[in-house]
Amino acid sequence: MKIEKVPMKGLTSEEYEKALKISWKPKLQYAWDNGIAIGKYLQGLKEGKLLASCCNRCGRIMLPVRSFCELCWRPTDGEIAVNDTGVVNTFAICHVNWDASRLKPDEPRHIPAVIEIDGASKGQGIMHVLGNVDPAKVKIGMKVKAVWKPVAERVGSIDDIRFFEPY
Amino acid sequence: MSFKDSIHLNTKLGYFEGEIPVNYQYTLGVAGNIFFKTLMEKDEFIASECSECGTKTIYPLIYCEECFAPIEKYVPIGLVGELYSYTHCYYDYQGIRHEKPHVLGLVRFKGVQGGIVHRIEVKPEELKIGMKVGAKLKPKNERNGGIDDIIHFEKV
Amino acid sequence: MGYRKVAIVGAGITKFVRRAEETGPEMAYLASKMALDQAGLKLKDVEMITLGTAPDAFDGVHMKGEYLLSGAGGNGKQYIRNFVGGGTGVFAPIHGWMHVASGACDVCLVVCSEKMSSCHPHPQGAFLTIFDHTTEQPLKPTLIWIFALEMRRYMETYGLTKADIARVAVKNKNNALDHPSSQVADTVTLEDVLNSEVLAEPVHRLDISPASDGAAAMVLVSEHVAKRLTDKPVWIDGVGWNLDTAYWATKDLYYPRYVEKAARMAYEMAGITEPHKQIQVAEPYDPFDYKELHHLEGLLLCERGDAARLTAEGYTARTGNLPVCPSGGALGVGNPIAATGLMKVIEIFLQLREEAGKRQVPGKPRVGLAQAWGDLMQVGTVIVLRR
């Protein structure tokens, strides 16, 4: 048995433009419930606090808040506020939007990062973005601190932290 | 065991809104192209015919669903079929009420598997399962290779 | 362990392309028919079918499994769709193996098909909701973020450079020149990869596999059927799969533990105690170049942090001690998600039969492995084949 010739040849961009096609633009809109645990997490953010869940069995302090410990598979035992500082575990400097379109030269680059939060168990990171920093100077292990929106502008969203900046 | 908290006041429930921002362009496919190009240019429905077991299928396929042989033959079957079933639709897909009900039907063709679902324009008192109906097509210059090239099926 | 032996006796594949004229069911048919013809079987001989395909939102067809059914030969048969995200392509033959190994049937057709070109402006749009809707989506993440984050952590942990990683793209894109299905095979050099556009530092454009349309299929049979059909059966000796939590930011991004767990399951079943000595050809999943290195380590085929050095020394070249992605992989052949994983299993099947043509690795390999990966750094699927 040999596989030397395979079917299908694909369309060039031109052929694709000309090909008969049917278009559909669905309206896929959702309202996702926060649920109880994340609801508390968001309420904490509104109050300028980063909340973490505790599990008394494994002793972990976990972010974000969750109803159950996924390792012990039992309900968590309450929340505590951890620091709004942390350490950059990893980061990227992104030059493209999700649709593969490119950011314009003068647009600020997105700098997503995984930040291990101080006061939570080791390795408990959250994804956020870095700001107020020269992208070329970002380093793994850098200490960063949350920059909060003014109280009046907070709505109970992860965006209530505008970004993390070095301190 | 259960979670230690619950929310009993539903006004306290928050939510986050978002969307999946995509749209789609579907190519008609190899058999779909043959069907809609023939309809556009020659005013004819085309069925696929299996050279192994003889099964004819509409909409045509590039393979026989029965015996999986590749299709080598596409045959014209005219524009007239039989009304296999129908329904009166009072609402459109967004839940908006039509001024008068639309009749939607499944039209089948003699000796051919499958069928075409489309709008049926027949006087209510004449509407009957088994009646002969034919496709009324848009003028040639208005066709663009889709199911709307057929305006509706009507009594013949 | 009481499993029946399961053999692969036929395979089929389409070309992987940017935009196919063919519909999903038409693509599924072309691959399925080819696999049955190669096995010398008719559709009526097939008892059960398992179909692997990525999320419905790619093709823009809800209930895609049912939509693809007739092209995959499922009409009026025991047909089921399987799905574990990007790991689906290797899970599909594992699922087929379950059907035959359990005795539920003697002949099972495994089909994977993907048509990503339907999705505009970019298939990534369908991926956005993979992130947690409340704690992550407001940050407007894009899929490439997490790969860039994982790649940087991997580089940092082992002190690797971008060149160390780009060598995988060079190898695979060049290997793919010999694959009839390939979409983006190219004679690229290390400089080409390093000088290609930066998308999300450290990820460059040529570090990434393309979005593709394509299909692949494979016929699995029980031992007594295999003996009737061929004197060159390839046996599925071990299968493994493992999934990790969606709290991806809390994991060690430099090492895929779930891949290791999947591999250990497959190795135990296959009686493999020293994988780096016993596996003779491997097809780990390579949607990004660093992923191949990551996965070689997770599969225990080399020491942690050592995959880049081995690649630089030619150890993973087609003529090396352990040929890795001799097909050209997702980076070279293309990446129609589920079909890519099955393409990799097909490559090992052909290599073990010494029927891989120009891609044939030397040394008459007897044991090979394919692996797929997916989602938020969560899924590992592994299959071990033996001739």
Test C26 with B30 for CB contact under 8 angstroms: yes
| Cross-chain residue pair C134–A42, CB shorter than 8 Å | yes
* CA C142 – CA C123 distance, rounded (Å): 11
Mutate to test the interface with C, among A71, A114, A130 (most CBs of C within 10 A): A114
Q: Is residue C60 less than 8 Å (CB to CB) from chain B?
A: yes
* Domains of chain B, each with CATH number or no CATH: 26-155 (2.40.50.140)
Residues of B with CB below 8 A from A22's CB?
A: 25-26, 28, 146
A68 vs B contacts (CB less than 8 Å): 3
How much is the average pLDDT of C54-61? 89
- Domain of C225: which CATH number? 3.40.47.10
pLDDT at residue B149 greater than cutoff 90: yes
Three-state DSSP class for residue A30: strand
Strand partners, C49: C79, C109
Distance from CA of C67 to the nearest CA of B (A): 13
How confident is the model over C236-271, as pLDDT tens digits?
999 999 999 989 888 899 999 999 999 999 999 999
Contact yes or no for B30 and C126 at CB 8 A: no
Q: How confident is the model over C316-364, as pLDDT tens digits?
A: 999 999 999 999 999 999 999 999 999 999 999 999 999 999 999 999 9
Give the rounded percent of residues in chain B with a pLDDT score beyond 70. 93
Q: Which pLDDT belongs to residue B7?
A: 64
Q: Which of A60, A59, A65 is nearest to A79 (CA)?
A: A65
pTM of the entire predicted model: 0.95
What tens digit of pLDDT does each residue of C58-84 get? Answer: 889 999 999 999 999 999 999 999 999
pLDDT band at residue B14 using 50, 70 and 90 as cut-offs: confident
Which chain A positions have a beta carbon within 8 Å of B5's beta carbon? 36, 40, 67
Tell me whether C29 touches chain B (CB under 8 Å).
yes
In the block, which residue shows the tokens 């940050």? C139
Per-residue pLDDT, A1: 76
- Domain hosting residue C99, numbered range: 6-120+210-386
Model ipTM value: 0.91
Q: State whether C180 and A4 contact (CB < 8 Å).
A: yes
> CB B62 to CB C129 under 8 A?
no
C132 Cβ neighbours under 8 A, 6+ residues apart: C246
* Chain B CB within 8 Å of residue A167 CB: no
CA-to-CA distance for C82 and A150, rounded, in angstroms? 48
pLDDT in tens, A99-113: 889 999 999 999 999
Give the mean pLDDT of chain B: 92
The whole-number average pLDDT for the span C219-247 is 96
Q: Is residue C97 part of a domain?
A: yes
Q: What is the pLDDT of residues C125-149, one digit of tens each?
A: 888 888 888 899 888 888 899 999 9
Count of C-beta atoms within a 10 Å radius of residue A112: 24
What pLDDT band is residue B66 in, cutting at 50, 70 and 90?
Answer: confident
Which H/E stretch holds residue A42?
helix A35-46
Q: What is the mean pLDDT of residues B136-154?
A: 96
For residue C145, being part of any structural domain is answered with: no
Per cent of chain A over pLDDT 70 is 100
In a domain, C248, yes or no: yes
Number of domains in chain C: 1
Q: Domain limits of chain A?
A: 32-166
Answer for the pair C218, C346: CB distance below 8 angstroms, yes or no.
yes
Rounded Cα distance between C119 and A136, Å, is 35
Whether the pLDDT of residue B2 is over 70: the answer is no
- In chain C, pLDDT over 70 holds for what percent of residues? 100
Residue C263: inside a domain, yes or no? yes
Task: Quote the Cα angle for C101-C102-C105, to 5°.
Answer: 85
A156 lies within 8 A of chain B by CB: yes
Quote the pLDDT of residue B4.
66
**Mean pLDDT computed over B15-19:** 88
